[in-house]
Amino acid sequence: MYRARTVLAAVVAVASIAASLVTASPQAVAAESGAEYCRLGITRWTYTIYTMHVRSSIPASFNSSITSAMRQWSGIPGSALRYYGPQFRSGVANPEYLLYLNNFANSGLPDVPGITLGVSGSSGTHRTAEVLLNSRFSWNTAGTMNQAQRRVDVWTIAVHEMGHASGLAHPYSNCGPVTAAERASVMYVNWTRKRVPNSDDRAGIAAIY
C-alpha cells in the first residue's frame, strides 16, 4: 500500500551554511553557550525503542560504520531512546526504522548525500523513518569528506541523518543565532568528518526523550 512520506530533512547546500555562519555573532555565542539544539520542523519518534533495518542495497563494508552511527543516539544519559540492531540485509516489510542506498535524486529529491523521510502519526510524532544514502555519491569508511569530489564518510552522514530521524533539525534552520556548541554538533553540516554527537546533540535527545 502506498504511504505518503514527508521529507524530515535533507543535507543542505553549503551556501546556506555559509550564510548562517555570517549571521552568528560572537555575543550570541557567548550568551547561548550550552544546549541550543534545534528541533524546528522535525518531529520525534512516537515511542522510544526501535530496531533499525538495513536493506541489502547497503554494502557489507558499510556495516560497522552504520552500527557505530546508530549506537551514538542510543542510551544517551537522560534519554529513554534506545536503538537495536541494525538488522543487515533485512527483508522485513515496512519496518519502522529503515536505511538503504538509493538514487533518490532521480525521484526529484535534492542531490545531497543523505535524506531522511518520515511518516507522521498522531500528536505530532513520526511512526516511521527512512534514512536514504545517495548512490550518486562516492562513499568511504575512512572519514573522508570532500564536497567537490562528492566523497562522503558513511559514519558522518549516517549519524547526521539518524539525528534527523531521532528528532533533531539543523541549527542553522531558523533556530536563532548559531552557538559554538551547535556549530560543533553533528547536526551542523560543514563537510568535515563528524562522527560523535556533542553536548548540544545529546542535550537535544535528552530533552526530547
Query: Considering beta carbons, is residue 11 or 69 the nearer one to Zn ion?
Result: 11
CB of 151 to Zn ion, least distance (A): 18
115 touches Zn ion by CB under 5 A: no
Least gap, CB of 1 to Zn ion (angstroms): 28
Q: Segment contacting Zn ion (CB under 5 A): 9-17, 149-157, 171-179, 198-206? A: 9-17
Q: Which stretch binds Zn ion (CB under 5 A): 8-16, 60-68, 102-110, 120-128?
A: 8-16
Is the preceding omega at residue 86 within 30 degrees of 0, hence cis?
yes
Which of 9, 54, 175, 203 binds Zn ion (CB under 5 A)? It is 9
Of residues 98 and 189, the one with the C-beta less far from Zn ion: 189
CB atoms under 10 Å from CB of 177, counted, come to: 18
What whole-number distance in Å separates Cα of residue 42 and Cα of residue 167? 5
Minimal distance, residue 161 CB to Zn ion, in Å = 7
Q: How far apart are CA 118 and CA 125, in angstroms?
A: 10
* Three cell numbers, residue 140: 568511504
Residue that is written with C-alpha cell 535527545 in the block = 205
CA distance 60 to 109: 26
Closest to Zn ion by CB, 8 or 58: 8
Residue choice 8, 11, 17, 69 for contact with Zn ion (CB under 5 A):
11
Q: Tell me the C-alpha to C-alpha distance, in Å, between residue 32 and each of 25, 28, 48, 98.
A: 11, 6, 29, 35
CB of 164 to Zn ion, least distance (A): 6
Q: Give the residue with the Cβ less far from Zn ion, 188 or 209.
A: 188
Nearer to Zn ion, 9 or 181 (CB): 9
Instruction: Give the residue among 205, 3, 2 at the shortest CA–CA distance from 119.
Output: 3
Cβ-based nearer residue to Zn ion, 87 or 176: 176
Sign, CA torsion 94/97/112/174: positive
Contact residues: Zn ion, CB under 5 A: 9, 11
